[in-house]
Amino acid sequence: METEITTIVKRIQEDVLPEEYSETMKIAGDIIKNGGLVAFPTETVYGLGGDALNVESSKKIYAAKGRPSDNPLIVHICKWESIYDIAEEVTDEAKLLADTFWPGPLTMILKKKDSVPYETTGGLDTVAIRMPDHKGALDFIENAGGFIAAPSANLSGRPSPTLASHVVDDMTGRIEMILDGGQVGIGVESTIVDLTGDKATILRPGFVTEEMLERVLGSVDTDKTILDNNTGERPKAPGMKYRHYAPKGNMYLIEGDEENVISRINKMAEESAKNGEKVGVLCSDEISDRINADIIHSVGSRNDDAEIARRLYRILRDFDDEDVTVIYSESFSSKGIGMAVMNRLLKAAGFNIIK
C-alpha cells in the first residue's frame, strides 16, 4: 500500500449507548459512500466492506487484502427487494431459499445485472449475494447505501477473522474503520450455492448443510473438490482453488481410530521436536489429555460440530502467534456442519493427510 490509512476502531456491542451506536453507523456509512473501506462483524466471520457498485471500492478491497482479482466478492444486502437491483433473474429456487434461510449464512449465485461492475464479480457474469443474520451488519449495510461487497476481513491466505482483534492484526493501516461486534457466532464462512446451472450446486460448505438445502429444493449437487483434491476437476468457486486458511506452520491431518491417532500424533510430535520444530496439536477434548506436544489446543468435543466450527480459525491464528512450525491435527466427522470444518481443515493442511 502506498499510503498508510488511519484505522478507527468502534465497538458496536449491545452495551453501547443507542446514540453512540447510531453515530458509529453513520460514520461507517459515510466512509463507504465516499469510497472507503469498513470491516464489520457478521454471524459467520468478519467482512471487509466496500461499496459493491463502485469500481474503485472493489479495487481497494483487493489491494487491502492482497487478493487475486479473479476471485469474486460476495454482495451483502439488508432487505429482500435489493436482490432485484443486482440479479438479472431471481429464480423460484432463490425465493424459496431466501424465505427459509435469509437473513442467514447462505450465499446464492445468480446472473448479474449491469449495475454490478465486473471488478466486484472478478470478471464473471454472475453475482454472489447474501443477507447476513447480524443486527450490526444489517444496520451498517443500510447506512452505507444497501450494497456491500465483502470478502472475509483477513489478509489473503490467513484464516478468516472471528474476533475484531484478528481484523486489527491484519487490516490496521489498510482500511478506514473496524466495527467491533465481539466474537462471531458461527465461525466459518457462509454456504455458497450456485443457482445458475441446471441443478443447484454447493460450491462451499457452511452452516447451512446439504440436508437443509435438500429439504427445501429436493435434491442438490455438491462440488466434489470440497473434500477431495484428486478429482481431476477445478473447484467451481474461484476462491476455493487457493490455499486459503493457511497457518504459517506446515499442517498434517491424522485419520484413523482413536488409539492410532493418539499414538501417531505423539510419535510425530516427538520426532519433530527432536528436529528442532515447535509442535502444535489441534484435537478434541476427548483425546487432549493424552497428547504430548509443545502446544495443544482443543476445539471442544468431537461430537459438537458447531463448537468446533466456532473455535477453528481462532486456534489456527493462535498457532501463528505462538510461532508453531508444524501442526498435527485430529480429523473430524464430515457430517452436517462437519463438512465445512473438514473442508477448511483440509485446505489449511494443503490436503496433507496421514492415514
In the complex, the residues that contact ligand TXA under the rule CB under 6 A are: 42, 44-45, 47, 71-74, 107, 109, 121, 124, 126-128, 130, 132, 150-152, 189-190, 192, 203-204, 237-240
From 62, 242, 90, 238, select the one nearest 150 (Cα to Cα). Answer: 62
For residue 151, the minimal CB distance to ligand TXA (Å) is 3
Nearer to Mg ion, 69 or 292 (CB): 69
For residue 160, the minimal CB distance to ligand TXA (Å) is 7
Nearer to Mg ion, 313 or 328 (CB): 313
Nearer to Mg ion, 215 or 234 (CB): 234
Nearer to Mg ion, 265 or 341 (CB): 341
* Residue 343 makes contact with Mg ion by CB under 5 A: no
33 with 95: CB under 8 angstroms? no
Site for Mg ion in 107-166 (CB under 5 A): 152
What are the phi and psi torsion angles at 105 (to 5°)? -80, 50
For residue 156, the minimal CB distance to ligand TXA (Å) is 9
CA distance 190 to 37: 21
300: left (phi over 0), alpha (psi -120 to 50) or beta: left
Nearer to ligand TXA, 225 or 272 (CB): 225
CA atoms lying within 13 Å on the CB side of residue 152: 23
Question: Measured over all CA atoms, what is the biggest interatomic distance in the chain, rounded to whole angstroms?
Answer: 61
336 contact, one of Mg ion, ligand TXA, none, CB 5-8 Å limit per kind: none
238 contact, one of Mg ion, ligand TXA, none, CB 5-8 Å limit per kind: ligand TXA
CA distance 16 to 22: 10
For residue 92, the minimal CB distance to ligand TXA (Å) is 20
For residue 154, the minimal CB distance to ligand TXA (Å) is 8
47 contact, one of Mg ion, ligand TXA, none, CB 5-8 Å limit per kind: ligand TXA
For residue 206, the minimal CB distance to ligand TXA (Å) is 7
What are the phi and psi torsion angles at 6 (to 5°)? -80, 125
For residue 295, the minimal CB distance to ligand TXA (Å) is 27
Nearer to ligand TXA, 24 or 190 (CB): 190
CA distance 293 to 176: 41
From 249, 258, 270, 253, select the one nearest 330 (Cα to Cα). Answer: 253
CA distance 250 to 352: 9
Residue number of the CB closest to ligand TXA reads: 239
> In whole angstroms, how far apart are CA 25 and each of 12, 21, 79, 159?
9, 6, 17, 27
* Residue 44 makes contact with Mg ion by CB under 5 A: no
250 with 327: CB under 8 angstroms? yes
Nearer to Mg ion, 24 or 152 (CB): 152
The binding site for Mg ion (CB under 5 A) comprises: 152
